[in-house]
Structure formats: C-alpha cells, structure tokens
C-alpha cells in the first residue's frame, strides 16, 4: 500500500495541470496569535474572519503535547469529542453531535482532511501526525464547506514541503508500555519540486485490565504514513498533493463494563471484580464471533490545484479520494457471562471534485463561486450473537432480578432445567446495509467592502442529493428458537435484499457584516441556515421511513481583537440557534428506531484569549457556555447528549534559559460540567419499558463535572538540533466516563466505558 501511494503520488504530480492555493503561514507557539486560516476559502488572519473559529498551529500543538484530537477539543469552547474508541468517536459542536454509523448517515459536524470531506464516523478519527494546523469552525458552515457541516466543521491540514532539506526523528516511551517512533524527511528535489514523507508508530496498553491477566481493553496500536508533494513550475501555477495511510490493529476491544452484574469466574462462580467502571473485568465474544479486536485501514488522497489567471482571478481545484475498511468485535453486555456480543464492519470508498473561481478587487467585491460533485459507496455488516438460554432469562426479566451477582452460564442452564436443551448456545443475527450516494453542489460567497471599515457578506449553496440503499437481514444459523426470527436484528422476508432510492435538494446560506472598530478590533454579526438532508430509512419488516430534513437557524455576534502589537489576541461571541426535526435513536413501540425529537434551541457564549506577557512567557484560556435544550416532544426540557453547559481551559508556556539551552514548562487544565450520553438524560419516566424488568432503575448514565490536568517540560539546546521532553496527561488520575448506556440499556443492564487514566511519557527528538 505504501509503495502504491508513493508511486501514484509521483504520477499525479507529473500529470498536474493547475496551481495549488498558497500555503498558510506558520502558527506561533501561543494559541491564536497571528495564525493564518482558510475558513473562507482564502488566506486570512484569524482575527479578520467574521465567524467563530478556533485554530491551532503545529508549534502550539507541540507545546501542549497535542497528539490527539481529544486534546484539541479539551481547550476549544463549544467543542466536545466523545472518544470511546477510534471506531466510534462522537464529535459535538455547540451541543449537536455526530457519531452515526449507517452507510447513508449525514454527519452534523463535518471533518475535513486537506479539503476533502470525511463522511463516515468510523474513519473520522485518525492520527495527528506532521500537522500544519487544525481549524474548528462553529455554527452552520454548509455554505462554505457543504457535506454535513450542519453546525460546524473540523479541518485538518498536513504540512507541505518546504525549501529546506531536513530530517526529523522522534522516539518516546511511557507507562502502560507506551512507545512511539516517528520520522519525517523533507526533500527539495529541484527549484520547482519538493516532497515530504513521514512514518509514525504508536502503541500502548489499555486502561482497563483483564481480570485473568491476559491483556487489557481499549489498547492502542497505530501506524500512520504521510506523503506530500509540491510542484511550482511557474509563479502562476502549482500543485499540492497529500496522501495519508493509517492502520490500527489492536486486541481486547472496548472496555464495556456492567454496573448491574458483577464479573464472575465462569468455572468456579467466584466474583472476580466489582461494579466500578475502571477496575478489571473479563470480556469476550463467543460462538463464531471473533475475539474482541479493532482493525482499520484508511487511505486518503487530496490534490489541490490553483491557477492564478491574473491579479483578480484564480481557479482552484480540489480532487479527493478516500477509502477505508474498519472492523470491530466486542462483548457489549459488559460481563464474563455469555449474553450478547457483536462484530461490526464498515467500509467505504468516495471520490470528490470541487472547482472554484476566486475573485478579488472586482470593484468593491471579493469572494468565490463554484461547484462540486461527490460520490460514495458505503457498506456495513452488523452481526449480533446471543446465548439463547441466557437471553431467555434476560428477556423475561429473571436475570435482572438476580443482580448484582447474576449467574454463570452453567447456573443459567441449571435454572432453566430441561428447557435449556431446546435453546441454542449461540444464535446469530446479521444485517447488511449499503448506500450509494451522489451529490452535486453549486455555491457562491461574496463580500462587499462598502468602506475601509465596513463589509457585508452573503453566500448560498444549493445541493442535490441521490441515495440508493440496500438492506438484507439474515439469521445465518437459522431462526431463533425464542422468537422464530431474529432477536435484536430482524431478517428480511425470505432473506431478500430490500432496495430503496431517494432524491432530495436543499438550499443553505449565510449573511452578515464585519465592522473594523479600530485596525485591530473587529465586530461581526452573522446569520446562517444549515440543513441535514432527508433520509430514507429501510426497515426489515415494516415500510420504509422517510426521515425529514433537519434545519438549524443560527444567529451570532462577536468581537475579535489583536492588541499590544499582536501579543494579546482573542475573541468573544454570543449566539442563539433553533433546531427543527432533530433525529436520534430511541425505543419506538418496543423497537430501537429513529425518533424525531422535534424542536430544540440553544443560547451560548464563547471566549478565548492568548497573551504573551514577555518573550518566553505566555498564557491562554477559553470558556464556553452552551444552554442547549429540547423544546418539544418526548425529550422536552432535556439536555443534548455530549453537551456540557460549561467548559473552560487555562494554560501557559513558561520558558527560562539554562546553561546550554532553554527549558519550557507548559501546564494545561481543562474542565467541563455535567454531561449526559443520551437525549433521554436517563430519566426514569423515559426508562419505563415492557416488560418492566427492562426498565432502568438507576439514574447513572452521565458524567459529573470534572477537570483534567496535563503538563509538558521540554529542554532545547541553543542550536535547536535536539530536544527532550516529559509529558503527562490526566496527572491527577481522574476517573471519568466517556460513554454509558449502549446496547444493554435497552434491557435495563447499561454498560459504562472508562476514559483515559494518568499517562506519562518521555520524548527525544533530533533534527538534521
């Protein structure tokens, strides 16, 4: 695969016919500063962009030890990442979350890799390696970014080749048997051609141990490869190519932990653990399902080309290809007893092309017009396995009543007596879904500079979308002895492949103004409309369901400033949005299905600030308040999931000279208030189910407010040829949840997933 990426890259470089957008200037070491962003499809200083945006350059990411997107979310107001694992990350911006897995899913928070949309959740969370910058844009961004940027976008940009020959090597090691190795080579081939390539390997044991001593859960074993090429044959013509390849391959799976049933030794019946979500347990699949694991491969290629036609016009093309294959298995009842297990695989292949004409100094106007096409072919296979004998007691409510000890599988069989002989030790349901998606967009955004201090802007995007869907439900080992069909996943009639097709169109837009109060203080206001297109949902045994378009209307106003010669940089904003037809999962007539939660609204305030007190001493901080609530229907008054009302971070970088070099200390503390993991907020009145044993009797599927402390100490010699750093995360070893509920919640036996524990590592880097 790596040879394929390298050879393909050279071929594309040789065949390029256009010119890449100018490279953004490097970011300073403090948060914010004079960082240059491209959120409005042109290079701008962040304080001149009339929208809420947080951006971080490579220097700042190194300063805070930012090797994970979750570290970026910790310091960004209004941005939360729920990271139970890389297969199922949840991205939330101002309370609106995306973590859906169906092949046709439209994410509410878009992720972009070098200008190319990442539309499937299972491939959205990759390695932050050799990064130039990360931009987090909040509010409806459909006009600027299209595909699923309903309420924001996260844009990741790789470093591009520079004119200097360099080699960067880094190695690290830490607790939980952590180690990392990485290398980057920057090679200027000629005056017009440069290439850059790198490789990364990271490995770490998981934070929850297996009670039998055989391993851990939620471990890390990742590889990442990066290639960048830049060709500039003339001053008006260049081409940039980015190719990425990520591999994850871990054993152990997700640490689903039951707080209903104690873990039991299946041979002796002895209790081998407790109900705390961070302590050892034993989890495994059974039957034909593979042991818990996670394997994923992602290939991404982005070719950005730009041709400067004249001083006023430039033509930009972004061509994208992305392929991924991800599989995971696990024990989602959270106990050593064989109840329920799963094996899920998602895959996808997509192509995209965007062509954009940028213009400036056309009278008082600047902006862009363009069009794009996107095509994807996505698939998912979900297998659910059960021990029918255990499920007979679970579905009847007997097993829940035996909590907290529960039963071993041998005790379950003994309790059933002769009835156990007619039930299967392993029953398998399977559901295979697919979606072919084709989308066309036309878009435009124009800024009018009415005076030297006042500008108005407006933009719109029209989208035409077609989806062809397939659904097949199977019981590969025959129908269930309990139901005569499937248990949690129902077979389609005669195991037939159901098909459906749906076409839709949407128009989104934004309008606003920016006013220069002074040359270094900007006021802005913007109104935007974002939409998530309607979706046709196929069902195995009932008619197809058309899920209506979700609509978000947002109003925002703010101030951005750059004072004291650029040493003090920050912004503050207030916003209000209204949401219609919010779709989520819930119980409908006893079946897990899409539920229209109706209307919601939110009012919020966000601020961020960085201040360089003296050369070598800087501080930064951020705060976000987001009061997001449902306003109608089943969840009236509830909080959005993954949406704390309050969130703040504070940190700094303090440098001091030492003999032969400089030592730097960079502490960071982040905190967020109480957060629920599902829109029902674990309310007991919404947990009343039939039979009554399914009802969740305890309100515990939330995470109370908590804070995390991290720090980095670095020594760099005067010649800056090498560095040594000590890095620590969650230094107080705070025990917190990243998810709760899951499959077991529908049977009154919710499971809980622990967050990361205290980690520390040493890193040594050298540059040639």
**Which of 307-316, 542-551, 688-697 has the largest mean confidence?**
307-316
Between CA 684 and CA 759 the distance in angstroms is 37
Between CA 577 and CA 557 the distance in angstroms is 12
Q: Across residues 480-492, what is the average pLDDT? A: 93
Between CA 217 and CA 285 the distance in angstroms is 13
Tell me the domains of the chain and their CATH numbers. 2-767 (2.40.170.20)
Helix 409-416 crosses helix 388-396 at what angle (to 10 degrees)? 70
DSSP strand pairing (365-386 vs 340-362)? antiparallel
**Banded pLDDT at 589 (limits 50, 70, 90):** low
Query: What are the C-alpha distances in Å from 374 to residues 40, 126, 147, 460, 464?
Result: 20, 22, 9, 18, 10
**Tell me, what's the pLDDT at 363?**
95
Q: pLDDT per residue over 496-506, tens digit each?
A: 999 999 999 99
**Banded pLDDT at 14 (limits 50, 70, 90):** very low
- 6-9 own/partner pairs: CB under 8 Å, 24+ apart: 6/197, 6/227, 6/243, 8/243, 8/301, 9/227, 9/229, 9/241, 9/243, 9/301
Contact 74, 134 (CB under 8 A): no
Q: Which two tokens stand for residue 141?
A: 């961004």
Contact 145, 135 (CB under 8 A): no
**Tell me, what's the pLDDT at 699?**
85
Q: pLDDT per residue over 352-379, tens digit each?
A: 999 999 999 999 999 999 999 999 999 9
Q: Across residues 609-634, what is the average pLDDT? A: 92
Residues forming beta bridges with residue 723, ordered by sequence position: 765
Query: What are the C-alpha distances in Å from 103 to residues 79, 237, 376?
Result: 25, 38, 9
**Tell me, what's the pLDDT at 316?**
96
Q: Across residues 510-518, what is the average pLDDT? A: 96
Q: Which two tokens stand for residue 654?
A: 């303090």
Q: pLDDT per residue over 655-711, tens digit each?
A: 999 889 999 999 999 999 999 998 889 888 877 665 666 677 788 899 999 999 999
Contact 436, 377 (CB under 8 A): yes
- Whether the per-residue pLDDT at 10 is higher than 50: the answer is no
**Banded pLDDT at 26 (limits 50, 70, 90):** very low
Contact 57, 634 (CB under 8 A): no
Encode burial over 199-224: b for 16+ CB neighbours within 10 A, e otherwise.
bbebbbbbbbbbbeeeebbbbbbbbb
Between CA 179 and CA 723 the distance in angstroms is 17
Between CA 492 and CA 673 the distance in angstroms is 44
Q: How far apart are the first and last CA of the chain?
A: 28
Stated pTM of the model: 0.91
- Whether the per-residue pLDDT at 45 is higher than 80: the answer is yes
Contact 190, 229 (CB under 8 A): no
Q: Which two tokens stand for residue 594?
A: 């899409």
Q: Across residues 506-534, what is the average pLDDT? A: 93
Nearest to 340 by CA among 290, 380, 390: 390
Q: What is the DSSP string of 531-575?
A: EE--EEE--SSS--EEEPPEEEEEEEEEEEEEEGGGTEEEEEEEE
Between CA 578 and CA 198 the distance in angstroms is 44
What stretch of H or E contains 70?
A: helix 69-75
Encode burial over 482-514: b for 16+ CB neighbours within 10 A, e otherwise.
bbeebbbbbbbeeeeebebebebebebbbebbb
Q: Across residues 296-325, what is the average pLDDT? A: 96
Residues forming beta bridges with residue 174, ordered by sequence position: 178, 761
- Radius of gyration, CA atoms only, the chain: 26
Q: pLDDT per residue over 51-94, tens digit each?
A: 999 999 998 998 888 888 889 999 999 999 988 889 988 888 88
Nearest to 344 by CA among 534, 183, 537, 489: 489
DSSP strand pairing (152-158 vs 110-113)? parallel
Residues forming beta bridges with residue 464, ordered by sequence position: 440, 505
Contact 40, 137 (CB under 8 A): no
- Whether the per-residue pLDDT at 217 is higher than 90: the answer is yes
More confident residue, 194 or 27: 194
**Banded pLDDT at 119 (limits 50, 70, 90):** confident
Q: Across residues 171-187, what is the average pLDDT? A: 97
- Whether the per-residue pLDDT at 420 is higher than 70: the answer is yes
Encode burial over 555-570: b for 16+ CB neighbours within 10 A, e otherwise.
bbbbbbbbeeebbbbb
What stretch of H or E contains 471?
A: strand 454-474
Per DSSP, 30 falls in state S
Q: Rounded mean pLDDT of the chain?
A: 89
No. of helices (H) and no. of strands (E), the chain: 6, 41
């Amino acid at each position: 695969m790596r040879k394929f990426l390298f050879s393909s890259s050279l071929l594309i470089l040789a065949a390029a016919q256009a010119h890449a957008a100018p490279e953004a200037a490097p970011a300073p070491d403090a948060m914010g500063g004079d960082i240059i962003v491209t959120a409005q499809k042109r290079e701008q200083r962040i304080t001149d962009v009339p929208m809420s945006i947080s951006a971080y350059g490579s220097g700042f990411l190194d300063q805070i030890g930012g090797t994970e997107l979750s570290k970026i979310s910790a310091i960004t107001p209004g941005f939360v990442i729920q990271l139970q694992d890389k297969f199922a990350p949840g991205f939330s911006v101002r309370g609106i979350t995306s973590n859906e897995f169906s092949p046709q899913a439209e994410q509410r928070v878009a992720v972009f890799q070098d200008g190319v949309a990442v539309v499937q959740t299972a491939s959205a969370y990759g390695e932050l390696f050799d990064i130039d910058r990360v931009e987090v844009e909040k509010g409806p961004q459909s006009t600027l970014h299209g595909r699923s940027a309903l309420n924001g976008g996260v844009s990741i940009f790789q470093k591009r080749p520079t004119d200097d020959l360099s080699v960067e090597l880094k190695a690290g090691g830490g607790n939980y048997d952590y180690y990392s190795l990485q290398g980057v080579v920057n090679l200027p081939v000629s005056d017009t051609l440069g290439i850059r390539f790198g490789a990364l390997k990271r490995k770490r044991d998981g934070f929850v141990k297996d009670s039998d001593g055989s391993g851990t859960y939620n471990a890390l074993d990742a590889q990442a490869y990066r290639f960048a090429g830049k060709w500039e044959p003339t001053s008006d013509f260049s081409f940039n190519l980015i190719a990425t390849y990520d591999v994850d391959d871990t054993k152990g799976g997700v640490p689903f932990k039951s707080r209903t049933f104690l873990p039991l030794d299946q041979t002796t019946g002895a209790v081998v653990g407790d109900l705390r979500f961070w302590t050892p347990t034993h989890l495994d699949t059974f039957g034909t399902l593979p042991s818990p694991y996670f394997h994923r491969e992602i290939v991404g290629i982005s070719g950005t080309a730009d041709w400067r036609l004249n001083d006023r016009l430039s033509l930009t093309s972004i061509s994208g290809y992305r392929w991924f294959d991800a599989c995971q298995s696990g024990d989602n009842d959270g106990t050593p007893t064989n109840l329920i297990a799963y094996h899920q695989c998602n895959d996808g292949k997509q192509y995209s092309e965007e062509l954009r004409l940028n213009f400036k100094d056309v009278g008082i106007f600047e902006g862009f017009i363009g069009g794009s096409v996107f095509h994807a072919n996505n698939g998912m296979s979900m297998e659910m396995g059960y021990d029918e004998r255990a499920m007979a007691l679970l579905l009847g409510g007997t097993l829940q009543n035996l909590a907290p000890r529960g039963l071993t599988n041998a005790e379950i069989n003994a309790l059933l007596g002769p009835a156990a002989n007619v039930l299967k030790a392993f029953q398998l349901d399977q559901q295979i879904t697919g979606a072919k998606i084709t989308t066309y967009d036309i878009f435009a955004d124009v800024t009018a500079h009415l005076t030297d201090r006042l500008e108005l802007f407006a933009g719109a995007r029209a989208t035409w979308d077609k989806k062809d869907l397939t659904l097949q439900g199977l019981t590969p080992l025959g129908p269930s002895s309990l139901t005569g069909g499937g248990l949690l996943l129902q077979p389609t009639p005669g195991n037939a492949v159901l098909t459906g097709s749906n076409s839709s169109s949407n128009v989104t837009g934004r309008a606003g103004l920016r006013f220069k109060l002074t040359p270094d203080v900007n006021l802005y206001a913007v109104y935007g409309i974002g939409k998530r297109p309607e979706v046709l949902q196929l069902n195995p045994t009932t008619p197809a369901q058309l899920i209506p378009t979700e609509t978000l209307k947002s109003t925002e106003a703010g101030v951005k400033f750059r004072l004291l010669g650029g040493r003090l940089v920050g912004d503050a904003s207030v916003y209000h949005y209204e949401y219609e037809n919010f779709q989520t999962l819930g119980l409908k007539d006893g079946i897990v299905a899409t539920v229209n939660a109706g209307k919601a609204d939110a009012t919020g305030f966000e601020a961020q600030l960085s201040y360089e007190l003296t050369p070598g001493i800087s501080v930064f901080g951020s705060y976000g308040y987001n009061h997001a609530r449902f306003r109608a229907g089943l969840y009236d008054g509830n909080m959005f999931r993954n949406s704390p009302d309050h969130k703040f971070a504070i940190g700094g970088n303090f440098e001091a000279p030492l003999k032969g070099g400089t030592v730097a200390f960079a502490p960071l503390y982040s905190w967020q208030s109480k957060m629920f993991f599902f829109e029902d907020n674990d309310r007991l009145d919404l947990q009343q189910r039939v039979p009554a044993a399914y009802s969740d009797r305890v309100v515990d599927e939330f995470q109370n407010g908590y804070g995390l402390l991290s720090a980095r100490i670095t020594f760099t010699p005067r010649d800056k040829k090498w560095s040594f750093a000590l890095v620590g995360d969650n230094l107080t070893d705070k025990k917190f949840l990243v998810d709760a509920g899951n499959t077991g919640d529908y049977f009154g036996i919710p499971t809980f997933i622990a967050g990361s524990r205290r980690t520390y590592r040493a890193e040594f880097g050298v540059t040639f």
